[in-house]
Structure 1
């Protein structure tokens, strides 16, 4: 990976990124998950937003274990950037990891309830246009263990209720 691109991602410097693009207009075509995921890890929201607006397909760039940028934002509970991904790349809600988990699975299992509210609200709006597709590809999507997001939500709720109350 280009060292200067990594430095720009780590620092969140949009000016440095523009300079790199001026030098090599194709630099973002060869971008892998590392600089983008690194920008998320370093909480460079402005840079991530800017990159998503330039190339919405970046929301679906897969990293380790098939985790996309969108999944990473769900895992981190970053509601603003989850919304940005859904606006710029609505199809990202159908992406799955190597474990077959989609964003709903990840939000439930990691107890990102604010993100879960955003996702379910988005699905409600989208289902008005394409209900059957959304139902099968997102709501009823089974992970590799055969669990849908609803199954996972029941597991999380059951586990929470069984914890001793102190």
Structure 2
């Protein structure tokens, strides 16, 4: 009966799934008992049968964290086979799938951060960068996950000379106050910056140095800023990757300053009116940045 179930997974036949369960109610449990196996979820995800994959994941959540004999999860396989829509739907269902470590401790974020030398289509490259950004926003803590070589996704992006991925990762960690990732060292004691130096990647090296030089108090943001007008983008509906790959605007800095004040100032200091003073100062700063008529002053009619 497991064979019939696998055929159903290969074709995305949900009715076939339930026919297998009806014939053998323990069929999914029997598969789950095998430590390393290509589950129906692995098969469906690798072929892009999204609805079937989600149905299996709903019935058997443990399949999402199970590795096959090659040390890969279902999300790993969906990425490897460019089933990007399936990837997005799977992480929407369970964002923790992003942190499932496979062979050599690499999770799906590590995998998508690595430059694919087989990529020769501009759209495919853009799709992979968009998925990288989706992963970061869905599961921010995954940026600190390490492989067995103590590599972060940033290490891997630099090591594979994936300049676009580096830019997106730097934009992310600078905006959520995780710049400590810049100082993480791999098993050889190298930071991402040291890797870039050793391989003479001048553009990436410059980006890493700028990220290190950025003041830590300006490092906090929420995804909603992108859609709340805090950032001007080249399209009406900016992608997450475009957002992360753009410079921070003054309005973002002011927003983060307000958050930092609210979080760090004690109640006693608040009662003394210091918060009011800070808010007045930021409002004044905003007025200076955006005077009536723009930076050049009022326009003459």
TM-score surpassing 0.5? yes
1:107 Cα deviation (Å)?
Answer: 0.6
1:87 Cα deviation (Å)?
Answer: 1.0
Q: Distance in 1 between matches of 2:57 and 2:110?
A: 26
1:70 aligned partner: 109
Q: Is the 8 A contact 2:101 2:107 kept in 1?
A: yes
Q: Distance in 2 between matches of 1:141 and 1:110?
A: 17
Any idea what SS the aligned residue of 2:114 has? helix
1:19 Cα deviation (Å)?
Answer: 3.8
Q: Which structure's relative contact order is higher, taking Cα pairs within 8 Å and 6+ residues apart? A: 1
Q: TM-score when scaled to structure 2? A: 0.47
Q: Distance in 1 between matches of 2:54 and 2:195?
A: 42
Q: Distance in 1 between matches of 2:39 and 2:63?
A: 14
1:145 aligned partner: 188
Q: Distance in 2 between matches of 1:3 and 1:114?
A: 34
Unmatched runs of 5 consecutive residues or more in structure 2: 1-36, 117-127, 203-301
Which residue of 65, 82, 96 maps to 1:57?
Answer: 96
Q: What do residues 40-92 of structure 1 show as CA deviations (whole Å, max 9, x unaligned)?
A: 11000011111111111111110111011100010146211110111110111
1:135 aligned partner: 179
Query: Per the alignment, do residues 155 and 30 of structure 1 end up closer, same or farther by CA in structure 2, a change over 3 Å counting?
Result: closer
Higher helix share: 1
Worse overlay, 10-19 or 78-87: 10-19
Which has more radius of gyration?
Answer: 2
Q: Does 1:31 align with 2:66?
A: yes
2:162 aligned partner: 112
2:32 aligned partner: none
Q: Does 1:4 align with 2:4?
A: no
Worse overlay, 105-114 or 3-12: 3-12
Q: Does 1:82 align with 2:125?
A: no
Paired positions, count: 151
Q: What do residues 128-155 of structure 1 show as CA deviations (whole Å, max 9, x unaligned)?
A: xxxxxx233x110011100000000101
1:124 aligned partner: 174
Q: Is the 8 A contact 1:20 1:27 kept in 2?
A: no
